[in-house]
Amino acid sequence: MNDLTASIEVHDVAVRYNNGHTALHDVSFHLQGGTTCALVGVNGGGKSTLFKSIMGLIKPQQGQIRLCGLPISHALKQNLVAYVPQSEEVDWLFPVSVYDVVMMGRYGYMNFLRIPKQLDKEKVQAAMQRVDIAHLADRQISELSGGQKKRVFLARALAQQSKIILLDEPFTGVDVKTEKAIMDLLDALRHEGHLILISTHNLGTVPEFCDQVVMINRTVLAAGSTESTFTQQNLERVFGGVLRQIRLAGKDLHDDEDARAITILADDEIPAVFYGHKDCDAPFGCVCKQNGDVSHCQDSRHKRVANQNMNAQRQKTIEIKVEK
Ligand SMILES: Nc1ncnc2c1ncn2[C@@H]1O[C@H](COP(=O)(O)OP(=O)(O)OP(=O)(O)O)[C@@H](O)[C@H]1O
């Protein structure tokens, strides 16, 4: 890997789209390697715009971004930054195998003919093994589950050997096991000195594995260590609502008075949970059955809560929910 130290410096950035909408203004923060930072904020708060700006896909009208101390174009040329996109941004019908996608992470190391060398093949193999998809190498990406797709793009980022890894909503549509595997991998990468920036709506996971947080709503509202920044006051400021912590522990399900939030459906042996919030398009709440099926709802937060409750009925789990 390159000798440069991982860092992201965003200084006074403003982005205005062609339709005149200002998506970001006065955005400044600084992150160092060996960090996992959550980027959190409301829908439309500018997280993807910031990611695209860091990846050089959007040129800010104002301000500067430097990666590992270099201008973005130099950092990209040196493969210093990798991007794991949201699933929706990918054309999954494109006829390409898992191996081919992971090999794309090596393109930056090849000449224009893109003929892989032995080292490229070894890196691809190692990356696939690290995220446990080596057995899927020949599969078409259209044939993969949501969790497998995420792993493929993580493997591509690993094969790229970038110092900085950006992940857009890595936990959407993945089960609890995959979520844990992704968290463990990110933790290992952090300890290896990588800088990981994750956009997530899954607030409950933030204190678990992010040591830094940047909270944005068109501008940075708070940034710093998770301990000092991921506070009730800041969350309420960012999301403009009331934060509630809901404890799932058997029948003692929540610590507030709102009966709509969670209702126990089944008996003690087969715990099932109705859990809903106002951002979800699904009918209010979602059902957790014994087989882990969560119907009506694709929101990973709901699945996570439901699965956790199912797996450990008496285990206390805290899910953070913002009620508008
Ligand atoms: N190409 C575009 N042209 C015009 N406006 C855009 C464009 N892309 C995004 N926007 C607007 O910029 C704002 C920020 O969008 P962005 O996608 O960065 O938010 P986000 O925080 O990633 O949202 P979400 O959490 O919903 O993914 C939104 O108001 C959005 O409508």
- For residue 234, the domain's CATH number is 3.40.50.300
CA-49 nearest atom, ligand 1 = 18
CA-218 nearest atom, ligand 1 = 14
Q: Are residues 201 and 256 in the same domain?
A: no
In angstroms, what is the span from residue 311 Cα to ligand 1's centroid? 36
Look at ligand 1, atom 3, and give the residue with the nearest C-alpha: 17
Q: For 178-196, what is the mean pLDDT? A: 90
CA-201 nearest atom, ligand 1 = 25
Look at ligand 1, atom 12, and give the residue with the nearest C-alpha: 23
Q: Are residues 58 and 191 in the same domain?
A: yes
Look at ligand 1, atom 26, and give the residue with the nearest C-alpha: 43
Helices 146-160 and 118-130, packing angle to 10 deg:
140
Q: Are residues 277 and 296 in the same domain?
A: yes
Q: Could you tell me if residue 2 is inside a domain?
A: no
Look at ligand 1, atom 5, and give the residue with the nearest C-alpha: 17
Tokens of 126: 């190692």
Q: Are residues 124 and 193 in the same domain?
A: yes
Q: Are residues 217 and 115 in the same domain?
A: yes
Q: Could you tell me if residue 159 is inside a domain?
A: yes
Question: For the chain, what is the domain count?
Answer: 2
Q: Among 49, 172, 218, which residue has the most ligand 1 atoms within 8 Å of its CB, making it the best to mutate?
A: 49
Least confident of 156-165, 220-229, 277-286: 277-286
In angstroms, what is the span from residue 57 Cα to ligand 1's centroid? 14
pLDDT of residue 238: 83
- % of the chain surpassing 70 pLDDT: 71
Q: Could you tell me if residue 187 is inside a domain?
A: yes
Q: Among 13, 15, 16, 17, which residue has the most ligand 1 atoms within 8 Å of its CB, making it the best to mutate?
A: 17
5 secondary structure, DSSP code: P
pLDDT of residue 149: 86
Domain stops at, among 222, 239, 256: 239
Q: Are residues 289 and 182 in the same domain?
A: no
| H-run or E-run covering 128 | helix 118-130
Ramachandran class of 271: left when φ > 0, alpha when ψ lies in -120 to 50, beta otherwise? beta
Q: Could you tell me if residue 276 is inside a domain?
A: yes
Domain stops at, among 191, 206, 239: 239
Asked if 262 and 255 touch (Cβ cutoff 8 Å), the reply is: no
> Quick check: helix, strand or coil at residue 29?
strand
Q: Are residues 118 and 36 in the same domain?
A: yes
- % of the chain surpassing 90 pLDDT: 44
Q: How many CB atoms sit inside 10 A of residue 122's CB?
A: 12
Q: Are residues 183 and 252 in the same domain?
A: no
Q: How far is CA 4 from the centre of its chain?
A: 25
Q: Are residues 290 and 221 in the same domain?
A: no
Domain stops at, among 206, 221, 239: 239
Q: Are residues 203 and 220 in the same domain?
A: yes
Q: Are residues 248 and 235 in the same domain?
A: no
pLDDT of residue 313: 33
Interface confidence (ipTM) of the complex? 0.97
In angstroms, what is the span from residue 29 Cα to ligand 1's centroid? 20
CA-closest candidate to residue 40, choices 281, 243, 283? 243
* Domain hosting residue 291, numbered range: 242-323
In angstroms, what is the span from residue 27 Cα to ligand 1's centroid? 15
In angstroms, what is the span from residue 285 Cα to ligand 1's centroid? 27
- Residues within a 6 A CB radius of ligand 1: 17, 19, 21, 23, 41, 43-49
More confident site: 223 or 305: 223
pLDDT in tens, 263-302: 333 333 223 333 333 333 333 233 333 333 333 334 444 4
CA-closest candidate to residue 300, choices 167, 176, 144, 148? 176
Q: Could you tell me if residue 1 is inside a domain?
A: no
Q: Are residues 117 and 214 in the same domain?
A: yes
pLDDT of residue 201: 79
Look at ligand 1, atom 30, and give the residue with the nearest C-alpha: 44
